[in-house]
Structure 1
């Protein structure tokens, strides 16, 4: 099943069901007004949405309409919680190595995670608005999962059953602001603005054998200004599965339905697959050449983030954004 939200009906959008080929959609009238409402009563609502999804794919859904991603909000325009991990240790290792720091042994057994911005997500075709290029504007292509209600202290095995939807995110980072914030020892704030979700979120069954061990086993494809940037394999070098990340987040508190859990930037030990963020590429260049040669994003730049299936069909739809200055 594929779900999305239109930019209508208020701040939380209007829930729609999208066809498998991403060509048509239908409003979930009478089932659930918003995706958050569906997640709040998932065990009862999901079967009804799935029945509508089957009708849509069979060409039998009344009032179906052609998809226009420009009219899509983020599937969850706002969420109660977004916690972002850093499950790809090649990324962590390179970044720390570049600044002469060692990776603590605990990083290999205990996930890195922080509380991210969830009060609002950018739509998949909305611009990334930034005050200044001097902030060091970066994309971060990640996979996310969305949970139903997760009890406190669940095991990873139990947590796996609470993963209901999967999608992509451009977790925007302002690299120029990060060092000063981390020196305060209190985490990210100004350096992590709002992020963009993929046009649709999908249920695990849509991914077939590409979803195994609570990991997505497909390449994360990224382009900058129409030029290929990377195709890092999501299922390779992921130190912690999504089940482990969800269990980590729920260790001392329950998670509310609609919680988003991120994988962190997709990165492989083999740098030949390219990168999923500019900071990663700049670190590789620094380690290789002594200095970075790839610039951070500038106003007017564009980016594209997408995952396709083995037949080349887009699964989640693409995140396509431009970098735009704030106009006061």
Structure 2
């Protein structure tokens, strides 16, 4: 089934079930008012939501309506926790190579992750607002999973059973702010504003054989200003699968229902498939030509991130965003 949230009912939106082709939806408030509430009682409510999904896809759901993407908030407008990884080591290797640094051996056995912003997520059609272009505005096309309650100290096999939903995220980065923050030795803060989620999150069964080994085996298509930017394979060159990422986070703490776990920027060793972020493309250019040629995003630029099934049908819907100037208060 596919789930989303309307921009109504308060900060957490209104839960809807969405048809497989993303054309129709029905409010699920008789089951749970929000997606967060549904995840907190997932074992009981998921079967009811699935029954509503089957009814909707059979054109038998009462109260169904045509879906407008502009009416959607993020499926989880805010979450208790968002942890993001850097599971695609080609990305890490290139960035470090460009500045003459070695990848620590631990990166190949221990996931690189950070605590991301979760207090609010942008909807799939909401603009990315930034005060200044000088911040180095970048997109990052990623896959993410959403968990139910995860006990502390689960292993990867156990963690896999707690993956309930899958989606896409544009993990916005302000590249020119990152070096100064990392030099302090305390991680990202100002350089990581709010991210945007795909129009819907889907259960693993919706993905068929594309979801296996706790990875999503489909290409991630990114466009900038309507032009092709990259289409790397999400199931290739992922050093740590999502179960391993969840187990890493849960080593010393339980995770609450509604925790989002990101894959990090999708990158392949094959650079012919393009990139999923501008920093990656600029690094490839630096290694090849001695300097980057692709600029970071400017006001007025647009980005589109999506993933389609092998038959070309939409899965999560597209994240489509325009870069805009944020007025000062």
TM over 0.5: yes
Verify: 1:148 aligned to 2:148, yes or no: yes
After TM superposition, the score normalised by the length of structure 1 is 1.00
Q: Which residue pairs with 1:49 in the alignment?
A: 49
SS in 1 for 2:17: strand
Q: Which residue pairs with 1:193 in the alignment?
A: 193
Q: Which residue pairs with 2:115 in the alignment?
A: 115
Verify: 1:130 aligned to 2:130, yes or no: yes
CA distance in 2, matches of 1:228, 1:166: 24
Report how far residue 314 of structure 1 moved.
1.0
Q: Which residue pairs with 1:33 in the alignment?
A: 33
CA distance in 2, matches of 1:306, 1:142: 10
Q: Which residue pairs with 1:322 in the alignment?
A: 322
Q: Which residue pairs with 2:291 in the alignment?
A: 291
CA distance in 2, matches of 1:5, 1:101: 43
The residue correspondences of 1:82-93 to structure 2 (distance < 5 A) are: 82-93=82-93
CA distance in 2, matches of 1:216, 1:71: 27
The residue correspondences of 1:244-259 to structure 2 (distance < 5 A) are: 244-259=244-259
Report how far residue 29 of structure 1 moved.
2.4
After TM superposition, the score normalised by the length of structure 2 is 0.99
Q: Which residue pairs with 1:13 in the alignment?
A: 13
Q: Which residue pairs with 2:104 in the alignment?
A: 104
CA distance in 2, matches of 1:305, 1:261: 18
Q: CA-atom RMSD, angstroms?
A: 0.4
Encode CA deviations 1:209-249: one digit per residue, 9 max, x unaligned: 00010000000000000000000000000000000000001
Q: Which residue pairs with 1:267 in the alignment?
A: 267
CA distance in 1, matches of 2:124, 2:254: 29
- Where structure 2 has 5 or more consecutive residues not aligned to the other structure, the ranges are none
SS in 2 for 1:233: coil
CA distance in 1, matches of 2:45, 2:95: 43
- Where structure 1 has 5 or more consecutive residues not aligned to the other structure, the ranges are none
Encode CA deviations 1:299-323: one digit per residue, 9 max, x unaligned: 0000000000011011000000000
